[in-house]
Structure 1
Amino acid sequence: MPTWSNQLPTKKKHMGFDIIRTPQSRPIQAIITCDDILVCDTHFWGGRTLPCERKHQEQDGTLSAGNCSACNGSVPFRSHVYVSAIDCKSRDHFIFECTAFAAKPLSEYREATGTLRGCVFHAIRPKGQPNSRVVIETNTMNLTKIKLADPPNLKLALTTIWRLPLTGMAIEDQRGRHPEAHTVKKPLDRMRNQPDNQPDHQHRRADDQHERHRPAGKIDCLGSIHLCRTPR
């Protein structure tokens, strides 16, 4: 006989973090869980975003293309900013990505308050077009009324998502591995050269899954929590 229940199954295991960009048709409102922004130069290479792997030359302090395939292919890089955040509606913990230009309000908030943790941000594309300009507004919240989840190790999480070997990471960046930052145990060369250029099956989700469950328009973050304007 089947086992019947009126309750949804509990989420037993987190299958990794998703990188979420601001959709063209609706905003994102979320609470940042990390302390500061993480900036990385990236290329759109092979149908996906990958980090630029230029090497720093100790002799003259310049950067060399080194083994960066995109740089050697004359593909320009673009600086992107990453923060970990929790969606105000779905409570999903994800990694938010935006351009360095769009992230200026986040940097100003960090300078004004000393930390990004607890910052509520609202990101939207006013023109409603793909790859159009993203506008971010920031607010503060009272952290004494809610316990935020611990932030992931962003460098390790992104290294896992981008399927990069850990051998190139500094030892201190490999420590304190967040249990949710993981990937399928496959040889790294197979993980980095999958024919369809897709993430590992444990990380595969519909691109719009995060947006599908979010209603249009602004939402009150965490119900009764009062939001106030960020000091500018």
Structure 2
Amino acid sequence: MALISCPECSKSVSDQSVSCPNCGFPTPKSETFNSHVPPPLSKKNYNNSNSVAGNRKRQKNSGCSGVIIFLLIIIIAIGYWLMDSYDSYTEKARQYSEEQSEPSEVEESLLDSELTQIPMLLSGSGEDGRYFLISHSTSYELEHIDYVRRGKESDAYGQMQINCKSNEIRKSSSESLKALPSADLGDWYTPTPDWTDQDIVNFICK
């Protein structure tokens, strides 16, 4: 501990004292100590600090709320779009099923019209009276025919190309007449002698 002179009254003062015991003047130590201690916040500064912190918190909460609302709108829009797409798909599927299950206007007219019967002589009496010629045309020495096999519960339709010179055919079949034009006829082959294909060839190439 050392003695120093008071700047105010010039009395000897301990360098550890915070003020002069004679006149009360602050010593250099008290000034050094007070320089490291921040001044206390006034009520006004305290209120301003709380106000700034509150504004920042409200801005942060407002930003989060905006993001949440935006995400909810996107989720609702996606859900609505999925429901609308599903309803549209089910409606198209229902319409397609009805179109496939009900005969078309062309098929109904065929059922009510007089068609040329194709006699089944080789394949047996069980098939006779079932096959009817719908259309027949010739091009490039090939015979093109559409025919129907009428059954008790449903009808089957067929398309055939016939080469009468080589006794070869290629054909396709379908449960719908309107599907025949796009059907694949496959490769050429010789029909079985005692089956319906040969009966149709004999009728067309007679």
For the superposition of Structure 1 and Structure 2, which TM-score range results when normalised by the shorter chain?
A: under 0.3
TM-score, normalised via structure 1 length: 0.18
| Larger CA Rg, structure 1 vs 2 | 2
Structure with greater proportional helix content: 2
Q: Which has the higher contact order (CA 8 A, sep 6+)?
A: 1
Query: TM-score, length-normalised on structure 2?
Result: 0.19
